[in-house]
Structure 1
Amino acid sequence: MAPSSARAAPEQLYEGIVGTARVVMTLAVDKADASGQYFYLRSRLDIDLSGRIRGQTLDLESRVTGDKLHLTRSGATLSGTLTTAKAQRLPVSLRPAGAPEKLPADLPPKLSVYERWHLAGLQFTAQQTETINGKTIRWYREPLSGIRLFRIESGYPAPALTAVNHALARNQWQDVSAWFACTGYEGGPGTDTAEAKRPWLGTRHVSYVWNASWSCAGAAHPDFGTTGYSFDMRTGRILKLDDLLRFGTGPVPAEESDAWYSYRGKRFAPGVVALLKRYHPQEMLKPAEGDDDGCDYSDPDVWDFPGWALSEKGLWLGAYFARVQRACDAPDWAVIPWSALGLKPGERP
């Protein structure tokens, strides 16, 4: 990690043509070094770039595809050639990129301009409907990435439906953006799995789990993750774990504060272990001495920042282990029943 006093190299955004294909490129220049990425609008997958600058000349290469670019700067534009790994030479013409047009609605607010270019002109395709607990959902798919997520069409008050469906659309665009940003070592998609489990639609809550696994070029190793999303269907508000599971008599400290991190480690995680031992005593037994492959769910450290979701049975918590034991992550059995959460009657499903 760079020292906090170091300034990030300024990024320059370009759009243009390679051969006959439209591309968007971002470059960060730091003295004689340049790095960045670009994508073809037909596929949107990022291609890494790194190289050197000599005067007005840039020589860049992709570790993933083997593409080599020889570019010359003329004013604000770049031109030159791209040579593929198969020695095919293509002309390149790039100009500064403005703001992307035809952006979808409900984009996540923190996307960079380059990430917004990734999504420009895309839209979701409506697919089949499904009825769950008397309520109707419809699935939507983004064609290039194949990322699917549902929207809720009936069963809850209209204002809450509107708010939650906007949030679901933002989540889906965030997942599409992540898919485009993860290119595999062969130049194709690096995301192996990116899918939502069938959601739970309760009387007052909606919850779903997003599973993803990936092997992005340049990353230290393949990885995977499980993330839960839950909503209060009376208000449309996104729920946080601290809304549902609290330990101690005082209020939960402000999220991301030093006091909150201390609370999660010293009070929350031990409290979770105590609850799980009560309701899942066998699963929470400490592995036998010498069993290096055993999963020690009695260790509070694996529960301080768990994934979570809601279901008919209660609150599911997903343990998180160090990489060498990631196979122990997120066991299905780790459910705390609704009756143990101490919620008011109006807060229960």
Structure 2
Amino acid sequence: MKKIILCFFVFQSILVFCQNQSYYLEGTLAKSKIYMSINLFGSTTEEPNTNAIYFYQNSLKDIPLEGSFKNNEFTLTVKHNDTIREKFILKKVANNNFEGIWRDAKGKSFTVKLSPIDFTNYKSDLSENYIDEKLNLVKSKFLEFKKQKTTTYKNKVIEWYSEKHCNVLFFRLGDNFLENNKNKVNPVLEKIHIENILDQLNCSSSFEYNTGEGIAYETSLTFLNSNLLGFKTSMNWFCGGAYPDYTTRGFLIDLNTGKNYEIDDIIAFDKSVTTEKESGFDSYSKYRHDHFAPKLFSIVNAQQYFKKPKDNEEEPCDMTDLNRWDFLTWIYSEKGIEFTPSFPHAMKGSCEETFLVSFEKLKKYKNPKFKYSFN
């Protein structure tokens, strides 16, 4: 229910108490059901020494707070551009329960009562990095999907769904897919949809309230045959950081099993090919650096004839830098695999370029474990 790390330092006869502690709570603000996580850090002499997130069950959108813990009392505020919009004053009572009050900028005040969350009531098959943020388990329970439209791709029906609490549209396989395909793939697509929704609901800023639109998603299908489904999702987001950002991710899913392939499951430039899941990041990174990047670069360069900038040239978009080719974006398309070398954020707009490598050129590098032919 809580994690605690305690440390004591003696400096000039002054005892400083340090602690890292997390609480996961549910309860009521007036008549509204809310959920909250509180993180206590640093020493009790510092301020702020506490941050928190809370959300309403009927909204699920994160609202960040910051404040202090003194004399067994938390003071937590929602502050936008130095203006306090909300304030919680919470006192810890028996059994890690909390009681207190909430006030808004107009002086309106309500009672707050919170108790530890029993996470056995909230189950999910989310990916590990989403489960680590425990309040995602709570949000997952209250999602509500609604079919918005139907489209077709290569004469197959694609159904698009929205979710009640935010602006994230995503698809499922429609009626004229084989029943086995739908049974295997639609749960995978729903899981991806849920994780995109959670990203949106968690996209909170200290400047303004989360509207459920902080991330703009665009998903489109890129490949389909009797065995494989390819698609890409592009995202533009601003969640209160230094600047907006964007990225694209490609997917290739086995219609018969629901397996979501990584690029190293599909092509192998050396027998040492591996994925991060199989061997951990160090071995995976070594394969990408020693084999994947140089070989892929040579294939693309045979068509593009990249030139390394001269020492006296101010050319930031150096495509001959193999570091741009080891961890990059890939899209499985009808004509081949599209690769986009990676650049730092400040260079993305001017440097990013996508290169199509035909299936014909990739055939001899197909991973022996990938059981489908390139076409």
TM-score bracket for this pair, using the shorter chain length: 0.7 to 0.9
Structure 1 residues 58 and 141, CA, compared in 2 at 3 Å: closer, same or farther? same
Matched, 1:240 2:262: yes
Which of 296, 307, 327 does residue 329 from structure 2 map onto?
A: 307
Structure 2 CA distance for partners of 1:116 and 1:91, relative to 1, 3 Å: same
TM-score normalised to structure 2 length: 0.80
Contact 1:23–1:39 under 8 Å retained in 2: yes
Do 1:273 and 1:299's aligned partners in 2 also have CA atoms closer than 8 Å?
no
User: What is the aligned partner in structure 2 of residue 348 from structure 1?
Assistant: 374
The counterpart of 2:232, out of the listed 188, 206, 209, is 209
Report Cα offsets for 1:290-314 as digits up to 9, x if no partner: 6646533332211111121211111
Alignment of 1:175-214 (within 5 A): 175-184=196-205, 185-189=207-211, 191-214=214-237
Code of the residue aligned with 1:115 in structure 2: it is: N
Instruction: Describe how 1:61-100 pairs up with structure 2 within 5 A.
Output: 61-64=77-80, 66-75=85-94, 76-99=96-119
- The verdict on how the C-alpha distance between 1:117 and 1:8 changes in structure 2, with shifts beyond 3 A counting, is farther
Give the aligned residue type for 2:233: W
User: Counterpart in 2 of 1:41?
Assistant: 57
Query: How many residues are aligned here?
Result: 340
CA gap of 1:292–1:19, structure 2 versus 1, over 3 A, is farther
* Contact in 1 for aligned 2:153/2:221 (Cα 8 Å): no
Greater per-residue strand proportion: 2
Taking the aligned partners of 2:216 and 2:315, their CA distance within structure 1 comes to 25
Alignment partner, residue 276 of structure 1:
300
Q: Work out whether residues 36 and 55 of structure 2, in 8 Å CA contact, stay in contact via their aligned partners in 1.
A: yes
How far the C-alpha of 1:118 sits from its partner, in A, is: 1.9
> What residue in structure 1 maps to residue 356 of structure 2?
335
Whole-angstrom distance in 2 between the partners of 1:58 and 1:278: 63
Choose from 259, 262, 270 the match for 2:286: 262
Aligned positions of 1:111-260 closer than 5 A: 111=131, 112-153=133-174, 157-184=178-205, 185-189=207-211, 191-217=214-240, 219-248=241-270, 250-255=271-276, 256-260=280-284
1:134 to partner: Cα distance:
2.2
- Matched residue type, 2:285: Y
Of 198-207 and 172-181, deviating more is 198-207
Q: CA RMSD in A?
A: 3.0
Residues 317, 330 of structure 1: 8 Å contact kept:
no
The answer to which of 140-149 and 52-61 deviates more is 52-61
CA distance in structure 2 between the aligned counterparts of 1:290 and 1:151, rounded to whole angstroms: 53
Deviates most, 236-245 or 187-196: 187-196
**How far does the alpha carbon of each residue in 1:32-81 deviate from its partner, in whole angstroms, 9 at most, with x for none?**
33322111223221112222222221111234464221112221322222
| TM-score, normalised relative to structure 1 | 0.85
Displacement after TM superposition at 1:254 (Å): 4.9
Identical aligned residues as a percent: 23
**Structure 1 residues 292 and 69: CA distance shift in structure 2, 3 A:** farther
Question: How far apart, CA to CA, are the structure 2 residues paired with 1:139 and 1:125?
Answer: 9
Per-residue Cα deviation, 1:120-176 (whole angstroms, up to 9, x for no partner): 222211232222112221111112112111111356554343222111111110011
Q: Aligned partners of 2:169, 2:315: CA distance in 1, in Å?
A: 35
- Correspondence for 1:58 among 60, 66, 74: 74
Separation of aligned partners in 2, 1:126 and 1:59: 42
**CA displacement 1:181-204 (0-9 Å, x = unmatched):** 112321133624123124432343
Counterparts in 2 of 1:143 and 1:287: CA distance versus 1, 3 Å: farther
Q: Which residue number in structure 2 is paired with residue 16 of structure 1?
A: 27
Q: 1:237-262: per-residue Cα shift (whole Å, max 9, x none)?
A: 211101222213x2314533423212
CA distance in 1, matches of 2:312, 2:215: 34
CA distance in structure 1 between the partners assigned to 2:374 and 2:62 by the alignment: 44
Shift in alpha-carbon separation, 1:257–1:106, aligned structure 2, 3 A: closer
- Alpha-carbon spacing, 1:301–1:15, altered in 2? closer, same or farther (3 Å): same
Distance 1:149 1:69 in 2: 37
Asked whether the equivalents of residues 192 and 215 of structure 1 are also in contact (C-alpha less than 8 Å), the reply is: yes
Aligned-partner Cα distance in 2 for 1:8–1:166: 41
Q: Which amino acid aligns with 2:92?
A: R
